[in-house]
Each structure stands twice: as structure tokens, then as C-alpha cells.
A = this chain, B = another copy of it.
Amino acid sequence: MTRILWINPVGTDAYDAPIGAELRAEAAPGTRVDVCSLPGAGPQHLEWNALEAVVAGPTMGVIRWAAEGGRYDAAVIGCFYDPFLRGARELSGSMAVTAPAEACLHVASTVGERISILVGRKKWIPEMHENVVKYGFADRLASFRVLEMRVEDFQADPEFTQQRIIAEAEAAVEHDRADAVVLGCTIEFGFYREVQRKIGAPVIDAITAPLRYAEFLAALGADHEWHTSRAGGYDAVAPRELSWIPAVEPILNVDPR
């Protein structure tokens, strides 16, 4: 059994149950997915980098808690900015950690060659583009396309959202020569199957892909000891510093299976 913790790094549990349900429907048979958000009230989304900063500390705390004593085999930081992935890996021990952009881009660049990412607002693009560059996929990027929607809009009127995603995904294939489309926000969940049926090209979902990538990484660690390397930039935080990063136990939406 693979135990995965999906962290919604926000100060609301509003998405925990629906994302938990989706993830459990998409997971491999032997996977158990718990979902949590951050304790206490806090930002409802991370559209601004300053909001990421606010949730940074608690997110590290949850990662520490998740890694302690092998509680989880893998954790996902559930925001497409992949916030604090380096910090999380410094704390993760033998637990795998991944995040949506990393996972989606690895998958998309394997099933296709040119990738379009559908974001809510153009504000998001520069920070996300930095990640595309960092992961190595800049030359694979066909385009960012803007849905002109905010995070909170995606689940408000699903039919409208789906229509918008289809329109931009089709334009990405037609005009930008993309052959794979990535949904650039975790809250765009629930749409990918219908969209890829419509456009005839793979649409990589920002919660499903990291879930599956987390399972994959967990298996690589368990079976081949291919854990996060400690020989370079993911050097583990020295024990003497760990007191500054206390473990934070989140309220869990537990996998009922």
C-alpha cells in the first residue's frame, strides 16, 4: 500500500473533500490518499506570490509531520506554482515529494512534444514560466493561454469553465501547435477527461498527474532506493536547525478505504 498526503497549501478546507474524492477515483488500486489543508484561517488561494509566502512556514511544518516516522510514502504540495518544493525536499527524508507543475510537465513532455499551459490570469505566467525553465521544458513550451478566470471561479460554474478550457485547449493545438495541454491550476480539477475527448489530444490534469507521479516516485524509492539525493541542492536540513521548523499536524480528510 502506498500512502500519499495531498496538501492543499491554503487556509481553507473547502477543497479537501472534493479533491480527495477525485484523487481516490484516479489513484492506483493500492494507494491511499489523505488530503489536508493548513491549520487556521489563511489565504483561500495562492494567486499572488506574497500569499505563497504566508503559507510557506505551515507547509514546511506539515511536510515535517508527514515525513516523521514514515507516516507517508509521498506528499504532494497541491498548487501549480510548486511552492517550496526545494524546502520540502530538504525535510522529506525518504518520503517522496512532488508538485503539480513538475509532474504535469514530465508527463506532458513524454506523451507529447509541445505543451500549452492553461492559466487563470496572465499574472500567473511569469512565476510559472520560471518553473518551466527550471525543470528544463522551456523549449517544449508552445504557449501559456489565459482563461481569464480566478481560482475561485473554476468550480463555481463548471459548464462555463469547461467551455472556456475547451476553447483555449483547441486554440493551443490549432494555433500554437501544442500536442499536449496542461491545466495550470489544481482547482481546474474535474474537467480533463471531457476536454481531451473533445480536442483529441492529451489534457494533463493538475491533480491527477502529480498523484500518479507521487505514486511512481514512492515506488522508485521503495523498490530501488532512488530517494531524493542529498549530495547537492537537496541537502537535508541539519538537525540543529530543525527546531525552527516544528512539525504541524493538519486536520485530515482521511481516505475512507
Contacts and interface: CB of A to CB of B under 8 A. Distances in A.
A226 to B, nearest CB: 5
Contacts of A91: 50
A49 B229 contact: no
Interface in A33-83: 42-43, 47-57, 59-60
B231 A112 contact: yes
Contacts of A233: 113-114, 123, 125-127, 179
Contacts of A84: 49-50, 53
Interface residues of A, number: 85
Contact of A87 (B49, B201, B220): B49
Contacts of A139: 133, 136
Copy number in this complex? 6
Interface of A: 11, 26, 28, 42-43, 47-57, 59-60, 84, 86-88, 90-91, 98, 102, 106-107, 109-114, 122-123, 125-127, 130, 133-140, 173, 177-180, 192-193, 196, 200-202, 204-205, 208, 212, 216-217, 219-220, 223-235, 237-238, 241, 244-245
